Copies of this chain bind each other. A is one copy, B any other.
Amino acid sequence: MARRRTGNRAGEVRYGRLAGALGFNLRIAQEASFRAFAHRVGDAAMRPRRYAMLVLIRENPGLTQAELGRSAGREKSSITPALNDLVKLGLVERRAVAVDRRVQTLWLTRKGEQRYRELTRHAVQHDRLLERAIGRGNRVRFLGLLSRIVAAAQDYAGRENNAI
């Protein structure tokens, strides 16, 4: 317990059991990756989650908000404000549908498509950074390990899904 009272700099801290903990290190890596992506994109209004919403809408044109929420593991009430922003930015369009008048379908605008392409260039660069870090040959293996973690954790916690 005898320990100096001051002068501890960040690097000197002992991490104890955290140092080897899988969950802890997973979080640290994810945060670092998040920051690197945000730094690369520069646009505070376009964090990874917003970008992921753009991708999902692009890949599933006519997706409804409820479907987007379910595939994102978020409440529909959480989707609304994020989507309002994307609409305000002119990237996403809501369209009513005749067959079910409760529903709003989602579509990328032309500007949304352009923004998607810009952001995807950044995302590809980001992915290359991570790939270089782990080594090309480890990519498939690494993705496999991550997906096994997702399966086991969801199985344990009983979550249908929590993508995005």
By a beta-carbon cutoff of 8 Å, the part of chain A in contact with chain B is 1, 3-6, 8-11, 13-18, 20-40, 48, 52, 55-56, 58-64, 67, 70-71, 73, 97, 99-100, 103, 105, 120, 123, 126-127, 129-135, 138-139, 142-143, 145-154, 156-164
Contacts and interface: CB of A to CB of B under 8 A. Distances in A.
Given A23-B123, A32-B162, A36-B156, 12 more contacts: A5-B100, A6-B99, A8-B63, A13-B56, A16-B58, A22-B131, A23-B126, A25-B146, A32-B154, A36-B153, A129-B156, A133-B148
A130 B147 CA distance: 11
A97 B7 CA distance: 13
A24 B72 CA distance: 12
A114 B129 CA distance: 42
Q: Is the interface of A mostly helix, strand, loop or mixed?
A: helix
Contacts of A163: 10, 15, 28
Contacts of A20: 143
Contacts of A23: 33-34, 37, 48, 123, 126-127, 130
